[in-house]
Structure formats: structure tokens, C-alpha cells
């Protein structure tokens, strides 16, 4: 009887779904699915609409929030009521004050423009963390161990046992540390996150994590153990400059909140009852690697009954007085595994394994051998031209794992508080013959959800796309870094700025950037200057004048603006607004009355093309040109941002300021005939992209850029020009030149590294020179994402997926695929917050077929290249007959039209 009832119910639900044709999925809160440990008191909710009818827009929503899934109607914490709105994300919770450590369930229903009403969504939830400093009952503790702070020390271990009288109904652990932590309860590792609590500007704030530990606790005896590592807090990264004024001891703060089935509660905290010791990790350092002696393991030390009578006490330490914040970004996780693809012996006699991919993370290995045997594993990105293991470009970073066996059957090992950037590794001291099967590469990075799939008919461009995405993986480890391997690995602002658009296409990075940008606020100088790296660990190297480089510091404006463009996130604009204004004021003060910022102490167009020829000085773009161009650009963006935030006076003041900078720029750097001094690709690209050229001269200026490109036959730009040049060309009628640059295989070009086997983006156009020798080891990374900024052009131009700055978050999509080069097909899928946007095209026998998916609750303008209205078929009908399309018009060689959501296939013969 019951089964019959269930089947009928399921059938009715299905029928309902089919007929209503409108449903909701992918509920998120602050970009996350069912997040724990939030401290955003006005979280933003989002959902995706699915509809069977074309041209569907949301017209209203209703959100209900409640303390359980049964009281949405009867006892909601917030009921938005039916709210007329097309907003399907960034919907701000607007109910009663949210309470610490409380879970809130929510559901949503929507209405659309075809008078459909959806069912209620499946419920989702979010859970608050500890909202106030007062909620922390735990005290900071540190091990009572002798350490020599002039060298790397063994990783301390801290433990405690406790009894629980009743059955646990639910339990949460809130934990953070100065240094990294690895947390175990009753012999099991808690959670899957690694490199916790992550990297923030430790002088001011630190993240904490929340774990559901209900299943790890039991009635009776329990034990907790935490190992601490140096990480970003101390160790070679932070010590290099010996600059941060702070106490360098590792510390722990942990609080476990337990609710029993009998309704009682208990809290376990870090306090003076804990014990401490050192163990097998003799050294673990981000750059240096790890030294582990398995003979020193304390077996079962995180289980109850372990004898810690010989362990040391702990010291309760003063509260460091910094903000303890819930993470805005995704956790760092072990994301995927790779197996080595080859093993060989180098001419110098090293046993070398090849992972087939320049990866970031570490090796897990299994080994069996006599007690006391010591293995050494070193990691490198490349082999030299003779096939020997090459580590010079790692500079001080040793990236070495040393493991001593305890001789107890097969042992499986992974390092703890370090990671390596590598494609190759060499093994010494292995008992017997190491085999491919003994090793697994564990790829580690922030769990940013991939949102872009791109492929086309040219395998080299597909490899380029692969390299761009792997560059992002390896350099998105809680902070956007320059590189993951040498002794640097810092949050270089300029690198992040130039790559931001590509990064936003590739993955959901809104939370990731939000977290980092908040550190930027803390690190900003009184003067308004933004340090070159955030978190700023180069404190002593960054006196005021070295701080505030154009293109680098502008990250404070450009990245929030980019996040706003991709995710319609106005909150990040408000959060960053004061910092942006301070930065503009800094530039204004430094530029003075003539608005030309003659700052010589700049980084400029970093790593631009430099020739060996004595007659050619290199593509050098004057720093004051760049500084003034960026001054105008950021000021213009801040004017727009002020307008969006309703700060009308600021908007006007910054618009006026931008006009003044623009006039000064034109007067200083441009002839009446549109020629720029300096006459470089970067100069033209900056001026055109930042709208610094008078309308009447734009075409002329663009033609000069194209002429320069044709004269050289290759790119000459560095970090600042590279992300802009291709769009400047294709947007100004020089598509062929843009494709020529993209398809070029010889140095300097994007594809040259691929001819040398690159699997990530290189820092320099010639990391490996055409003669097989290397660029200078003082600066030669094989995993730097900056030049990967070409991804932005590929997605926008080849497959034509563009946002409309005036309708951010891809509410209005501008599809403008521009086939070129020798491509015969290309396709891309970008998972926007409205749902997947797809564009794929193919050219066969002169027929162009373009298939587009426009998500529900968005609309699109579509530009069909080389088309004539009468020849176009859409979904097998003529264009005019298709009701969902409107505003169809011929514009030169292109046909433009507007459409609502749906799936469309356009087909026509390309005009000659």
C-alpha cells in the first residue's frame, strides 16, 4: 500500500515538473553549497532556474528561512514573501539577527514571465560560526618546548584526553592556529582541508575552520591531537626578510562544542591541561620540504589511553589580539591525483621520474625497507638540455623530502606542511628499485569550482588552454601567487590583476578573491599605497616609496571590479571602496598638479620583449606613461563604482579627475596624429584599452598598433601589455593580427613554450631559449599564470562569450564569436551564476553552424559573423520566423539580433 502511494506521489511530482516546466537547483549561500562556519551576518543566497520554455525570465521569488525544514511556513526566521524581482543570486538575507553556531535552512520558489510558478526547491542550509570574540571560550596555547628560532624546528604536537558522559547528538570543532595545523580526533584526521588555517595578513587577522565532528566523538574516553607546522607564519617564507615584528611561536586555539542527545552541552577547549611534544616531523617548511623520521612516531597519540606522562606541558599565551575570521574563500584540498608517466636515469646518473605535468602539491609514496633507511626525494620543474635534473631556478627553495623508514612493513607517506611545484623528481636511497607504481602525485589547491571548458580544432591551442588552467590551479593556494616552486610564492598583486578576468572565466573565484582583497585592506599603507605583495611579508623591503607600483597596486580597484563583472557582486565594491579611494588619492598626490605621475620607482611592463641586438633597445614602455595610464584607468573605474554605490558626488569628482588625467596624458604622450611616445605595443594597448585616445584618432592609433605588430611579426609586451593587446587588435578591426600572434610558434609567443613541452604557463617568453639553454636562474619560473591572461581573449573572441559591463554577472550576454586563423571549430561552456552559457561553432564547406545556450533568466545579443539575414536558419527555421528572436539587423558583414533564454542553432553560408 505504502509503495503504491509513493509511486503515485512520484508520478504526480514528475507530471507537475513536466508541466510547470520551471524548477530550481544549485542553491548557494555566499557562493557555497550548504556552508558551515559562516560569519557573514547578511549572507547572500543564489539559485539556478531551469525551464523548458524558451525566453524565460524570473519575475518574482520567495525565500523562506527557518531553524528546521518543517517550520518554513509556520515559524520562519525570514520569509521574503513574494518579491517582484529577477534577481536569482546576491539575494541578501534580511531576516532576524543570525545567531552563532546555528544552522538555518532555506528554500525558494520562483515565478516566471510565462506565468509559471515553480515548486519549492529542495531545502538547503547554512550554518553560522562563532560570530563574536566572546564566543571563543578557548585560550591560545603553545607547546612548552625549546626552540632555536634561527633555524627550522621540529613540528610540535599537542594533545589532550577527555571523557563524554552521554551520547553525542552533534558536535562542531572551531579551530585556528598561528602556523599551520593538522587536527585529529580519536585517531582520525578531522576534515579534508590541508594547509589550514591558510594565509592571511597575520598581524591583523587569521581564518578559523569549522568541522562537523559529530561522528568522530564517542561516549566515554576521547582524545584530541593537533600537530603544528611553520607554514606561512614562520619558516623560510616569512623569515626571509626577518621583518615582521611579532612573536614567532606556533600557537593553537581550538574549541569543540558538543550537544548530547539528552539535551546537555559541553565545550572542550585548548587550555593549560594539554600536553606537548615533538615527534617525527623534524622540519617541514613551504620552500625547503620536509624531513620525517618515522622511527620517532608516537603511535596512537591521538587516541585515548596513550601514555603522555613524559610529554611537556603547554603554555597559555596571551590572545594575539587579531581578528579571527571565517573563510570567505574555498578550502585548500587535495583535488586530484596523477601517476608518473616515465622513469629514466639521467646522464649524471640520477633516477628521475616524470609526472607528465608540471604540478603543485606533493608525492605520496609507499615504501618497504629496513629500519633507519633514509630516502631523499628532490623536485624540479624541468630537465636541462642534456636531460639532467635542474633545480637552479628554485633559488633557495630546496623542495626536498627526506624520509627515514621505521622498518615496519609497507609504509605510506605524504608530507604535512609543505608543497612542491614540479614535473620531475629524483629519488636517492630507495631500498631496492623505485617503480612508477610507488608514487602518486597529489595535486593541491583551493577548491575553486571549474567553470570553463574550452576546446577547438587546433591541438596546440587546447594545450595552451590546459596550461592556463594548470597555471591557475598551482597558483591558487589560498592566495593568488606568482609561482609555486621557487623561494617566492607570494601574493603579487600585479600578476593577480592581469590574470583576474581569465581566472574568473576559469573558475568560481569570487570567494577566493574576496578573502584576499580583505587582506589588502589591512595591508594598505596609511599613504594609500598598496604593497606589491599581499599578505605583505616584504614589510622591510617596502618603505613607502617602494610601495604603490602601477598595474600592481591597481589590483585594489581592478580585481573587485572584475569580480563585480562576473558575479554581479556589489558587496565587494562596497567593502573595497575606501581602499580604492585611498589608492586614487595616493596617485593624485604623487602625480601633482600636472596629473603626470612621474614615478620612476615602478615595476613597469615587467618582462617585456628585450632583444640582444645592439641596434634595438627592447620594447621599453616608459614608466611614467604606464603610471599615468593606470592612474586614469583606475580613477575611471572608481568613478563607475561610486555611481553603482550611489555615491554621486564621488562619481562626479572621479569622472572629472579622469578627464583631467586623460587630457594631460594626451598632451604629454600623443602627437596630434595619434602617434604615441613610447612607440610600443604596450603603450598602444594601454591607451586604447583605457580609453585614453580621442574618438577621432582611435582608428589611426589602432592602425599604428597593428603596424607595429606586423613589423615585428610577434608580441613584444610584458606583464601589463600582454593581457590587453589581443583584444585591442580584434576590437579595432585587426582580427588577423590577433590570430597571428596567437598562432605563432616561435619565440616570443604563447605557443613557443608548448613546442618545448610546457604544461603550464611560463614566467618568461623564453624560459627555455631556442638553443635549449635556460633563462637566468635568478628569475625563471615555469609556472607563472600572468601570460595566461590570453585565456580571456580566447573565450571572448574565439568562442565569443562576453559579458555586458552595464548588466554584470552575464545577465546580458554578448555572443560574438570571431573565427580566424585556421580554426574549423571551437566550443566553450562557461558556468555562470545563471547556469551554463555555451557557444560552439563549426565551419564546414563554407557553412557556419553556431550553437548557443542562453541560460534561463538571461538574455543575449548575438553577432553572427560574415552573415546575411536572408541566408540564416535558426533551429531549422528562417530567422524571421523565430519568435524568440528580435531586433534583427544587418551591420556591415555581421547580423545582430537579440534573444531570450534557450538553445539555438544558427546555420548559414559564410559570405565570401
Site string for ligand BGC, 495-514 (x = CB under 6 A): x-------------------
Name the nearest CA neighbour of 630 among 594, 584, 671, 673: 584
Query: Residue 603 or 874: which CB sits closer to ligand BGC?
Result: 603
Query: Minimum distance between the CB of residue 399 and ligand BGC, rounded to whole angstroms?
Result: 17
CA distance 255 to 817: 54
Q: How far is CA 830 from CA 49, 504, 826, 840, in A?
A: 16, 10, 13, 11
Taking CB under 6 A as the binding criterion, the range among 30-38, 482-490, 668-676, 691-699 that sits at the site for ligand BGC is: 482-490
Query: Residue 74 or 778: which CB sits closer to ligand BGC?
Result: 778
Q: Whats the size of the chain, residue-wise? A: 912
CA distance 732 to 491: 34
Taking CB under 6 A as the binding criterion, the range among 20-28, 230-238, 301-309, 491-499 that sits at the site for ligand BGC is: 491-499
Site string for ligand BGC, 695-734 (x = CB under 6 A): ----------------------------------------
Taking CB under 6 A as the binding criterion, the range among 492-500, 689-697, 863-871, 902-910 that sits at the site for ligand BGC is: 492-500
The H or E element spanning position 755 is: helix 752-755
Q: By CB under 6 A, what part of segment 122-151 binds ligand BGC?
A: none
Q: Largest alpha-carbon pair distance within the chain?
A: 92
The vertex-867 CA angle with 863 and 871, nearest 5°, equals: 120
Query: Residue 269 or 479: which CB sits closer to ligand BGC?
Result: 479
Query: Minimum distance between the CB of residue 490 and ligand BGC, rounded to whole angstroms?
Result: 8
Q: Are strands 400-404 and 289-293 parallel, antiparallel or unpaired?
A: parallel
CA distance 675 to 687: 11
CA distance 663 to 682: 20
The H or E element spanning position 814 is: strand 812-815
Query: Minimum distance between the CB of residue 471 and ligand BGC, rounded to whole angstroms?
Result: 12
Q: Are strands 323-325 and 205-207 parallel, antiparallel or unpaired?
A: parallel
- Compute the CA torsion angle 34, 35, 37, 39 (nearest 10 deg): -110
Taking CB under 6 A as the binding criterion, the range among 258-266, 296-304, 487-495, 815-823 that sits at the site for ligand BGC is: 487-495
Q: Which residue is nearest to ligand BGC (CB)?
A: 482
Cα of first residue to Cα of last residue in the chain, in angstroms, is 69
* Residue 774 binds to ligand BGC (criterion: CB under 6 A): no
CB neighbours of 656 closer than 8 A, spacing ≥ 6?
A: none
CB neighbours of 8 closer than 8 A, spacing ≥ 6?
A: none
Query: Residue 552 or 690: which CB sits closer to ligand BGC?
Result: 552
Query: Residue 610 or 663: which CB sits closer to ligand BGC?
Result: 610
Place of cell 636531460: 387
HEC letters along 273-324? CCEEEECCEEEEECCCEEEEEHHHCCCCCCCCCCCCCCCEEEEECCCCCCEE
So which residues are the catalytic ones?
488, 763
Taking CB under 6 A as the binding criterion, the range among 13-21, 489-497, 511-519, 575-583 that sits at the site for ligand BGC is: 489-497
Query: Residue 531 or 791: which CB sits closer to ligand BGC?
Result: 531
* Residue 474 binds to ligand BGC (criterion: CB under 6 A): no
Query: Minimum distance between the CB of residue 776 and ligand BGC, rounded to whole angstroms?
Result: 12
Q: What share of the chain is helix, strand, coil (3-state, %, to 5)?
A: 25, 30, 45
Query: Minimum distance between the CB of residue 608 and ligand BGC, rounded to whole angstroms?
Result: 13
Write out the three cell numbers for 135. 564566543
Query: Residue 629 or 879: which CB sits closer to ligand BGC?
Result: 629
Query: Minimum distance between the CB of residue 533 and ligand BGC, rounded to whole angstroms?
Result: 8
Query: Residue 207 or 481: which CB sits closer to ligand BGC?
Result: 481
Exactly one of 37, 123, 289, 494 binds ligand BGC (CB under 6 A); which one? Answer: 494
Q: Contact 23/118 with Cβ under 8 angstroms?
A: yes
Query: Minimum distance between the CB of residue 786 and ligand BGC, rounded to whole angstroms?
Result: 6
Count of positions on this chain that bind ligand BGC (CB under 6 A): 10
Query: Minimum distance between the CB of residue 532 and ligand BGC, rounded to whole angstroms?
Result: 6
* Residue 482 binds to ligand BGC (criterion: CB under 6 A): yes
Query: Residue 306 or 762: which CB sits closer to ligand BGC?
Result: 762
Q: Using CB atoms within 10 A of its CB, is residue 90 exposed (0-12), middle (13-18) or buried (19+)?
A: middle
Query: Residue 224 or 607: which CB sits closer to ligand BGC?
Result: 607
Query: Residue 546 or 675: which CB sits closer to ligand BGC?
Result: 546
Query: Minimum distance between the CB of residue 638 and ligand BGC, rounded to whole angstroms?
Result: 23
**CA R_g for the chain:** 29
Query: Minimum distance between the CB of residue 779 and ligand BGC, rounded to whole angstroms?
Result: 6
CA distance 705 to 738: 11
The H or E element spanning position 844 is: strand 835-844
Query: Residue 717 or 803: which CB sits closer to ligand BGC?
Result: 717
Q: Are strands 58-66 and 141-143 parallel, antiparallel or unpaired?
A: unpaired
Count Cβ neighbours within 10 Å for each residue of 529-563 and write b for 16 or more, e otherwise: bbbbbbbbbbbeebeeeebbbbbbbbbbbbbbbbb
Taking CB under 6 A as the binding criterion, the range among 167-175, 488-496, 787-795, 805-813 that sits at the site for ligand BGC is: 488-496
**623-644 helix and 555-567 helix, angle to the nearest 10 degrees:** 40
* Residue 488 binds to ligand BGC (criterion: CB under 6 A): yes
Site string for ligand BGC, 605-644 (x = CB under 6 A): -x--------------------------------------
Q: By CB under 6 A, what part of segment 544-603 binds ligand BGC?
A: 603
Q: Are strands 220-229 and 877-878 parallel, antiparallel or unpaired?
A: unpaired
HEC letters along 110-170? EEECCCCECCCCCCEEEEECCCCHHHCCCCCEEECCCCCCCCCCCCEEEEEEEEECCCEEE
Taking CB under 6 A as the binding criterion, the range among 7-15, 110-118, 304-312, 490-498 that sits at the site for ligand BGC is: 490-498
Write out the three cell numbers for 120. 519549492
Taking CB under 6 A as the binding criterion, the range among 480-488, 570-578, 666-674, 795-803 that sits at the site for ligand BGC is: 480-488
CA distance 596 to 85: 45
Write out the three cell numbers for 836. 551554463
Query: Residue 481 or 708: which CB sits closer to ligand BGC?
Result: 481
Query: Minimum distance between the CB of residue 862 and ligand BGC, rounded to whole angstroms?
Result: 38
Query: Minimum distance between the CB of residue 531 and ligand BGC, rounded to whole angstroms?
Result: 11
Exactly one of 213, 252, 363, 483 binds ligand BGC (CB under 6 A); which one? Answer: 483
DSSP string, 167-232: -EEEEEEEEEEESEEEEEETTEE-SS--STT----TTTEEE-EEEE-GGG--SEEEEEEEEEE-TT
CA distance 550 to 881: 52
Query: Minimum distance between the CB of residue 492 and ligand BGC, rounded to whole angstroms?
Result: 4
* Residue 782 binds to ligand BGC (criterion: CB under 6 A): no
Exactly one of 353, 365, 492, 539 binds ligand BGC (CB under 6 A); which one? Answer: 492
Q: Are strands 452-456 and 389-390 parallel, antiparallel or unpaired?
A: unpaired
Residues in contact with ligand BGC by the rule CB under 6 A? 482-483, 488, 492, 494-495, 603, 606, 779, 784
Amino acid at each position: 500500500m505504502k509503495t503504491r502511494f509513493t509511486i503515485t506521489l512520484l508520478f504526480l511530482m514528475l507530471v507537475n515538473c513536466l508541466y510547470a516546466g520551471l524548477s530550481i537547483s544549485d542553491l548557494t549561500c555566499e557562493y557555497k553549497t550548504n556552508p558551515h562556519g559562516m560569519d557573514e551576518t547578511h549572507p547572500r543566497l543564489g539559485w539556478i532556474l531551469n525551464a523548458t520554455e524558451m525566453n524565460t525570465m524570473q519575475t518574482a521569488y520567495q525565500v523562506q528561512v527557518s531553524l528546521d525544514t518543517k517550520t518554513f511556513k509556520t515559524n520562519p526566521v525570514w520569509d521574503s514573501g513574494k518579491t517582484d524581482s529577477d534577481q536569482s543570486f546576491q539575494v541578501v538575507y534580511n531576516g532576524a539577527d543570525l545567531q552563532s553556531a546555528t544552522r538555518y535552512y532555506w528554500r525558494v520558489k520562483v515565478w516566471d514571465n510565462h506565468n509559471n510558478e515553480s515548486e519549492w526547491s529542495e531545502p538547503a542550509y547554512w550554518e553560522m560560526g562563532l560570530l563574536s570574540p566572546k564566543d571563543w571560550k578557548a585560550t591560545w596555547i603553545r607547546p612548552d618546548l625549546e626552540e632555536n628560532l634561527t633555524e627550522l624546528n621540529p613540528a610540535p604536537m599537542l594533545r589532550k584526553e577527555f571523557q563524554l558522559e552521554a551520547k553525542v547528538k552533534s558536535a562542531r570543532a572551531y579551530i585556528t592556529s598561528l602556523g599551520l595545523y593538522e587536527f585529529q580526533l580519536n585517531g582520525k584526521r578531522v576534515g579534508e582541508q590541508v594547509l589550514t588555517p591558510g594565509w592571511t595578513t597575520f598581524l591583523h587577522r587569521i581564518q578559523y575552520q569549522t568541522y562537523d565532528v559529530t561522528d568522530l566523538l564517542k561516549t566515554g574516553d576521547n582524545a584530541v591531537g593537533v600537530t603544528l607546522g611553520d607554514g606561512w607564519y614562520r619558516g623560510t617564507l616569512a623569515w626571509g626578510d626577518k621583518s615582521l615584528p611579532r612573536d614567532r611561536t606556533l600557537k593553537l586555539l581550538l574549541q569543540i562544542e558538543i550537544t548530547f542527545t539528552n539535551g546537555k552541552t559541553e565545550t572542550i577547549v585548548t587550555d593549560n591541561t594539554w600536553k606537548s611534544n615533538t615527534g617525527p616531523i623534524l622540519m617541514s617548511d613551504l620552500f625547503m620540504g620536509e624531513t620525517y623520521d618515522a622511527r620517532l612516531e608516537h603511535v596512537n597519540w591521538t587516541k585515548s589511553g596513550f601514555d603522555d606522562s613524559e610529554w611537556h606541558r603547554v603554555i597559555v599565551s596571551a590572545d594575539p589580539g587579531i581578528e579571527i575570521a571565517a573563510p570567505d574563500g574555498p578550502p585548500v584540498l587535495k583535488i586530484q591525483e596523477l601517476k608518473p608517466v616515465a622513469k629514466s636515469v639521467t646522464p649524471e646518473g640520477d633516477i628521475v621520474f616524470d609526472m607528465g605535468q608540471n604540478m603543485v602539491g606533493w608525492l605520496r609514496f609507499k615504501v618497504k625497507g629496513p629500519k633507519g633507511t633514509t630516502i631523499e626525494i628532490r623536485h624540479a620543474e624541468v630537465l636541462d638540455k642534456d636531460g639532467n635534473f635542474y633545480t637552479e631556478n628554485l633559488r633557495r627553495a630546496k623542495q626536498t623530502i627526506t624520509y627515514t623508514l621505521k622498518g615496519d612493513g609497507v609504509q605510506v607517506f605524504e608530507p604535512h606542511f609543505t608543497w612542491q611545484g614540479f614535473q620531475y623528481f629524483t629519488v636517492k636511497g630507495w631500498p631496492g628499485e623505485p617503480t612508477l607504481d610507488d608514487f602518486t602525485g597529489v595535486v593541491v589547491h583551493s577548491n575553486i569550482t571549474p567553470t570553463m571548458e574550452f576546446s577547438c580544432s587546433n591541438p596546440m591551442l587546447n594545450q595552451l588552454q590546459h596550461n592556463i588552467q594548470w597555471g591557475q590551479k598551482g597558483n591558487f593556494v589560498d592566495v593568488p601567487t606568482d609561482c609555486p616552486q621557487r623561494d617566492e610564492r607570494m601574493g603579487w598583486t600585479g600578476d593577480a590583476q592581469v590574470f583576474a578576468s581569465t581566472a574568473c572565466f576559469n573558475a568560481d573565484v569570487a570567494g577566493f578573491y574576496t578573502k584576499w582583497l580583505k587582506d589588502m585592506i589591512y595591508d594598505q599603507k596609511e599613504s594609500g599605497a598598496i604593497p606589491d605583495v599581499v599578505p605583505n611579508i616584504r614589510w622591510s623591503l617596502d618603505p613607502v616609496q617602494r610601495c604603490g607600483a602601477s598595474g600592481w597596486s591597481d589590483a585594489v580597484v581592478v580585481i573587485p571590479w572584475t569580480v563585480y563583472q562576473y558575479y554581479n557582486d556589489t558587496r565587494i565594491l562596497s567593502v573595497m571602496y575606501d581602499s580604492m579611494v585611498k589608492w586614487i588619492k595616493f596617485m593624485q598626490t604623487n602625480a601633482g598638479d600636472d596629473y603626470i605621475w612621474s614615478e620612476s620607482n615602478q615595476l613597469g611592463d615587467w618582462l617585456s620583449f628585450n632583444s640582444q641586438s645592439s641596434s634595438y633597445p627592447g620594447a621599453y614602455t616608459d614608466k611614467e606613461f604606464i603610471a599615468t595610464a593606470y592612474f586614469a584607468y583606475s580613477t575611471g573605474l572608481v568613478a563607475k563604482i561610486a555611481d553603482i554605490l550611489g555615491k554621486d558626488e564621488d562619481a562626479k569628482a572621479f569622472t572629472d579627475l579622469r578627464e583631467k588625467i586623460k587630457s594631460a596624458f594626451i598632451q604629454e604622450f600623443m602627437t596630434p596624429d595619434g602617434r604615441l611616445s613610447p612607440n610600443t605595443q604596450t603603450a598602444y594597448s594601454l591607451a586604447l584599452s583605457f580609453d585614453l585616445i580621442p574618438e577621432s584618432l582611435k582608428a589611426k592609433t589602432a592602425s599604428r598598433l597593428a603596424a607595429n605588430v606586423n613589423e615585428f611579426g610577434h608580441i613584444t609586451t610584458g606583464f601589463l601589455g600582454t593581457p590587453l593587446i589581443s583584444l585591442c587588435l580584434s576590437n579595432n578591426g585587426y582580427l588577423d593580427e590577433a590570430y597571428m600572434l596567437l598562432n605563432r610558434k616561435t619565440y616570443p609567443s604563447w605557443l613557443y613554450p608548448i613546442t618545448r613541452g610546457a604544461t603550464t604557463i611560463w614566467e618568461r617568453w623564453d624560459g627555455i631559449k631556442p638553443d635549449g639553454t635556460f633563462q637566468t636562474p635568478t628569475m625563471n619560473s615555469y609556472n607563472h599564470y600572468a601570460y595566461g591572461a590570453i585565456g580571456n581573449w580566447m573565450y571572448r573572441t574565439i568562442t565569443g562569450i562576453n559579458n555586458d559591463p552595464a548588466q554584470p554577472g552575464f545577465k546580458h550576454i554578448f555572443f560574438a564569436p570571431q573565427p580566424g586563423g585556421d580554426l574549423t571549430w571551437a566550443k566553450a561552456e562557461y558556468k555562470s551564476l545563471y547556469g551554463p552559457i555555451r557557444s560552439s561553432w563549426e565551419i564546414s564547406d563554407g557553412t557556419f553552424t553556431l550553437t548557443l545556450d542562453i541560460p534561463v533568466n538571461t538574455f543575449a545579443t548575438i553577432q553572427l559573423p560574415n552573415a546575411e539575414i536572408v541566408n540564416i536558419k535558426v533551429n531549422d527555421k528562417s530567422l524571421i520566423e523565430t519568435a524568440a528572436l528580435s531586433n534583427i539587423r544587418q551591420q556591415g558583414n555581421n547580423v545582430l539580433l537579440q534573444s531570450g533564454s534557450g538553445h539555438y542553432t544558427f546555420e548559414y553560408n559564410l559570405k565570401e
